[in-house]
Chains A and B, each alone.
Chain A
């Protein structure tokens, strides 16, 4: 159960970090479009990795 909890906590933390990066940090760079795009994509990848970690945790059921 504790192992699963670790996956949930890590996954949710990663997903929230990704969201913050894509939705809060990326718009700060609107004058540098390339940077904005890169930060947005990095945020998306991080959020997806978070969902992947949660899925991996579900496997431990």
Chain B
């Protein structure tokens, strides 16, 4: 037996056999994973996603080994398998391959998360100010709408441009679903970028608020008595109608609408056991596996893809534009209502449930200890989920028309 001693430590040895750029990126991703875990545990970033994602990033980039014929790989997941025989083999080897193929790459996980989100969503808050909530949510779609032409101008095809533009909605499951439908080739980088950025919403949006909205206005109080008590039967009828209308309009996004509204219907229908299942094990279990699989997908090869830096910039632009749009909408609502609406609820139109609503409340609370705006911010947040789903549905339905239009048809 003549085995070189360094081949016993393949995780380390593969750092020297790969190209320098790959090795440096692997080390950087291991460190970044550690940062995610730390920030997630300190609640600076969203821990539910960041901790499993960070651990998986560390493990997959440290645990690289020689698989066959001196080729480096890992035992986690290979997202780029197209050949069915190889896939069958890998399903029995890579431990996260079944989760990737049977829950993520077919859009199941986004739908499961949407069921959970539907179950924890209270539409009463949206009913308190329906038009204001919807208008603010539309304003916060600024990024999802205007990043699309920017991405087109930067050389992406319409499907890819729409997928990266949806990052501006700050709704992870929606980004996954849109990418799966319109740009499967960019699913991994877009999904990873989207979730990394969503975690940054906690850290970046407060700065946006602090620098753009005067402190006195940030502390504007709102009348909590304006939240109505709505009959559950009426809410159920609305849910049934909304499901039917949205699914007829956007059949491509029907799985998302069905998942979201079944969650809402179970909550409003008082099905306690189902509600507990959707809002607990299903939501948190799906979120955990999503974070873990995304972390395992974040390898040096993914990051070094030529289009990633463009996606990083466009994702950032989309989220910034949406945040700015939401705050601009909030300021208009503040002026029109003569100071009765706190403009910070506008940023909750960016539909990262419930993160952006919590950001709005926390900033308002810092400015004025009596400012309770969370219920209204949640109303805008829920409207944001619906409008982002509509924009996603609009993209998925109209991309063939837009492609034809761009081609001069």
Give A residues with C-beta under 8 Å from B: 12, 15, 18-19, 22-23, 33-34, 36-37, 40-41, 43-44, 47-48, 50-52, 54-56, 58-61
Contact = CB atoms under 8 A, between A and B. Distances in A.
A55 B130 contact: yes
Given A58-B127, A59-B128, A47 B249 contact: yes
Contacts of A19: 245, 248-249
B242 interface: yes
Contacts of A59: 127-128, 130, 228, 230
Nearest to B124: A58
A40 B394 CA distance: 9
Q: Which of B128, B242, B394, B397 has the most CB of A within 10 A?
A: B242
A55 B382 CA distance: 13
B229 interface: yes
Contacts of B402: 37
Nearest to B235: A58
A61 B228 CA distance: 7
A47 B130 contact: no
Contacts of A43: 249
Contact of A52 (B131, B397, B405): B131
Given A37-B401, A44-B249, 5 more contacts: A37-B402, A40-B398, A44-B394, A48-B390, A61-B228
A44 B390 contact: yes
Interface residues of B, number: 27
Interface of B: 126-128, 130-131, 134, 228-231, 234-235, 238, 241-242, 245, 248-249, 390, 394, 397-398, 401-402, 404-405, 409
Contacts of A60: 228
Contact of A55 (B231, B238, B398, B404): B238
12 contacts: A18-B245, A19-B249, A22-B249, A40-B398, A40-B401, A44-B390, A48-B134, A51-B241, A55-B134, A56-B131, A59-B128, A59-B130
Most interface-central of B127, B228, B245, B394 (chain A CB within 10 A): B245
A36 B401 contact: yes
A31 to B, nearest CB: 9
A2 to B, nearest CB: 15
Nearest to A16: B245
Contacts of B248: 19, 23
A42 to B, nearest CB: 12
A37 B245 CA distance: 18
- Between A12, A18, A44, the greatest number of chain B beta carbons within 10 A of the residue's beta carbon is seen for A44
Nearest to A48: B390
Nearest to A55: B130
Contacts of A33: 401, 404-405, 409
A18 B244 CA distance: 13
A34 B405 contact: yes
A61 B249 CA distance: 28
Given A48-B390, A50-B245, A61-B228, A55 B401 contact: no
Contacts of B134: 48, 52, 55
Nearest to A56: B130
A52 B405 CA distance: 31
